[in-house]
Amino acid sequence: IQYPRLSYLPFLLPRLHTFFTPFLIDPTAAPHEGWFSYEDVPLKWHYPLGLLYDLFSGAPPAHPDGSDHDHTPSSTTLPWRLTLHFTDWPGEQLVQPDTEGKVLHDAFINSVKEADFLRNGTAKGIMSLSKDDSTQLWTAVQERTVTLIAHYCALGS
């Protein structure tokens, strides 16, 4: 599966759950109960996929020189082989997401606030978003609408 660096692993779970349901030991497991690991290390689902890849694959950063050009990982770092689990949630390492996705949403918003603060010395840009703008930003992340995400990122600058 190819998936955007800016996306999050939980967005894949419904699709993967549907595919693997006939093979699950517990077919009653819900999609949000899925979790990924890499070499037996549970992956933090609230981190963007690109960050997880950079941290765990041994690949160089996507943009080592700070440019915005696309990075093509070498054939030695792809495919990135992850293991998908629907049992034995690693509760000591991961917070479990909820069915509605509110936990992921909250983690995302907190990450954006932290990033805004680190980038600008204040989180005022993100904190001043209206409820509607905040919802649109989250929808853009879910739907991977990069232009809309860039628009909201520019507001904090």
Q: How many CB atoms lie within 10 A of CB 68?
A: 5
Beta strands in 30-106 (DSSP E): 35-38, 41-42, 83-85
**Residue pointed to by tokens 């993967």:** 16
Angle at 29 between CA 142 and CA 6, to 5 degrees: 20
Asked whether the whole model's pTM tops 0.85, one would answer no
pLDDT tens over the chain, length 157 residues:
888 888 899 999 999 999 999 999 998 999 999 999 999 999 999 999 999 999 988 755 555 555 544 445 555 556 888 999 999 999 999 998 888 888 998 988 888 888 889 888 988 888 888 888 888 888 888 887 877 777 766 665 5
Per-residue pLDDT of 82-126, as tens digits, reads: 999 999 999 999 998 888 888 998 988 888 888 889 888 988 888
